[in-house]
């Protein structure tokens, strides 16, 4: 594992000062959890005119910009984070796909690889995932054939059947004829097989090769017009990706205000690193699925978290896994403790996400929680319930979704249990979150 900025070596007293700042009464009173937190203009906490400011040229929903600015002023250089003390920096963490960008960069990378024959023939498709079902193994073997030697590129640019099976399993977790592609048991708050499978599909390549494929796909998707689509096999998917200007500005402002900013993604790390550079985040601050290498090449195994060993995808940055990787990689917390919520001195100040895969780490934030509304049940239940008065909801900045017609089923089936069962969402005190109506939309 490469060296990262580990805040465990930091002066804990200084970190605690940053993380445990009480919420000003005016700020708490002004928050409604529906994207309208803070009704007044946010003045710098220190009164200084030179405090880093979010751009007023970029549109945010309601009073979200003011609330974010207040959080930055409270926790950054203009507030309780001492200027020049680089060891006491508050941490901000962002999910990547559909949080910092519009559309899924992992799918763009895989699509580019399929269109350019970059997926290698495995010895057996069952080797690519411990959870791959016999039905999926048969479907992939039939569609992709056995004539290509092991380790050589599959002709997916011309073989529509092979491309379709691979992309269908990645996006829908089922075969083209509707059979489940993954089976068995896994912890549903630590992994999801179809996410882990993308990293496993690149087995045999070097990290540099995957980075090159990603960069080629990045250039093509950024050049495509907004709203455009492309064919991947017979699948029609978005052809374009855009960095959200608001999120790029937010990340830049946080960094200027003294925050240590990280990306925490359930995508392939070598691909996430390429995209993250576009918003000024380097590889050391990008956390994603980290493959185990053998002789410099990617294998079907990934590094473990929280005392868990390397595995075939059992602990990836997914739901509770994102908390684990933050605790382990940023705060230096080892063993099983990394799966637990930490004290305020060892938690991020700000978290941003868009989906249930982000809900745990975004909830852990002590200063602010930003959610882009993609109608995902658990995270939207948390956001609209607004347990601590610091949740903000914003529609997607490009092609936002309309209002979800029915309430989120928070009281019955929005929480994903470790065994995959769906149950009620509960607050810290154990009470059930009531169903929530969608109030912030395009």
**Model pLDDT for residues 25-67, shown as the tens digit of each residue:** 333 333 444 544 433 333 444 446 678 999 999 999 999 999 9
CA–CA dist 63, 411 (Å, integer)? 28
CA–CA dist 68, 94 (Å, integer)? 14
pLDDT at res. 88: 65
Between strands 242-243 and 291-294, the pairing is unpaired
pLDDT at res. 288: 98
Residue that the structure tokens 């995932």 belong to: 129
What are the pLDDT digits (tens) for 324-351? 999 999 999 999 999 999 999 999 999 9
Count how many Cα atoms sit within 13 Å of the Cα of residue 397 in the half-sphere of its side chain.
Answer: 19
pLDDT at res. 81: 58
pLDDT at res. 21: 36
Residue 303 pLDDT > 50, yes or no?
yes
CA–CA dist 238, 439 (Å, integer)? 27
What are the pLDDT digits (tens) for 200-245? 999 999 999 999 999 999 999 999 999 999 999 999 999 999 999 9
Domains of the chain: 7-102+243-295+314-397 (3.40.50.1000), 105-238 (no CATH)
CA–CA dist 425, 421 (Å, integer)? 12
Lowest mean pLDDT among 17-21, 269-273, 303-307: 17-21
Residue 78 pLDDT > 90, yes or no?
no
Point out which residues pair with 298 in neighbouring strands. 293
Mean pLDDT of 300-305: 98
Do residues 431 and 439 touch, judged by C-beta distance below 8 A?
A: no
Please, which contacts does 227-236 make with residues 24 or more away whose CB atoms are closer than 8 Å?
A: 227/399, 230/111, 232/111, 232/114, 232/115, 232/163, 232/167, 233/114, 233/160, 233/161, 233/163, 233/164, 233/167, 234/160, 234/164, 235/164, 235/167, 235/168, 235/171
Confidence of residue 168 (pLDDT cuts 50, 70, 90): very high
Largest CA distance in the chain: 70
pLDDT at res. 7: 41
Which of 228, 111, 105, 241 is closest to 167 using CA atoms?
111
Radius of gyration of the chain (CA): 22
pLDDT at res. 38: 37
Do residues 132 and 181 touch, judged by C-beta distance below 8 A?
A: yes
Tell me the C-alpha to C-alpha distance, in Å, between residue 187 and each of 40, 93, 118, 333: 44, 23, 31, 21
Comparison of pLDDT for 297 and 3, the residue scoring more: 297
pTM for the model stands at 0.90
Residue that the structure tokens 């079902």 belong to: 133
């Amino acid at each position: 594992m490469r060296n990262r900025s580990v805040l465990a070596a930091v002066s804990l007293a200084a970190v605690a000062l940053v993380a445990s700042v009480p919420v000003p009464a005016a700020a708490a009173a002004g928050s409604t959890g529906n994207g309208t937190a803070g009704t007044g203009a946010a003045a710098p906490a220190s009164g200084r005119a030179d405090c880093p400011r979010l751009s007023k040229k970029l549109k945010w929903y309601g009073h979200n910009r003011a609330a974010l600015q207040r959080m930055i002023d409270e926790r950054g250089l203009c507030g309780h984070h001492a200027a020049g003390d680089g060891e006491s920096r508050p941490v901000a963490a962002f999910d990547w796909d559909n949080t910092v960008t519009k559309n899924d960069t992992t799918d763009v990378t895989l699509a580019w690889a399929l269109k350019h024959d970059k997926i290698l023939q495995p010895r057996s498709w069952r080797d690519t995932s411990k959870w791959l079902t016999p039905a999926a193994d048969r479907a992939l073997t039939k569609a992709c054939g056995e004539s290509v030697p092991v380790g050589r590129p599959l002709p997916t640019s011309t073989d529509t059947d092979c491309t379709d099976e691979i992309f269908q399993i990645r996006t829908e977790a089922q075969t083209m004829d509707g059979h489940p592609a993954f089976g068995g048991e896994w912890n549903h708050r630590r992994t999801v097989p179809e996410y882990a499978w993308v990293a496993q599909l690149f087995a045999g390549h070097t990290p540099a090769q995957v980075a090159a494929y990603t960069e080629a796909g990045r250039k093509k998707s950024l050049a495509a017009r907004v709203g455009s689509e492309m064919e991947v096999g017979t699948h029609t998917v978005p052809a374009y990706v855009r960095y959200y200007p608001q999120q790029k500005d937010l990340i830049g402002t946080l960094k200027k205000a003294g925050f240590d900013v990280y990306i925490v993604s359930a995508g392939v790390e070598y691909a996430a690193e390429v995209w993250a550079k576009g918003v000024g985040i380097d590889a050391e601050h990008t956390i994603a699925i980290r493959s185990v290498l053998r002789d410099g090449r990617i294998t079907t195994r990934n590094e473990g978290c929280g005392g868990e060993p390397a595995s075939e995808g059992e602990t990836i940055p997914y739901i509770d896994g994102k908390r684990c990787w933050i605790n382990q990689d940023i705060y230096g917390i080892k063993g099983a403790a990394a799966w637990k919520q930490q004290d305020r001195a060892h938690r991020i100040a700000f978290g941003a996400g868009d989906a249930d895969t982000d809900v745990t780490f975004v909830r852990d934030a002590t200063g602010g929680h930003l959610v882009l509304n993609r109608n995902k049940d658990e995270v939207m239940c948390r956001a609209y319930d607004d347990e601590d008065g610091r949740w903000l909801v914003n529609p997607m900045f490009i092609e936002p979704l309309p209002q979800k017609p029915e309430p989120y089923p928070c009281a019955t089936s929005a929480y994903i249990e470790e065994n995959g069962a769906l149950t009620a969402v509960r607050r810290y005190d154990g009470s059930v979150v009531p169903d929530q109506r969608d109030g912030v939309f395009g």
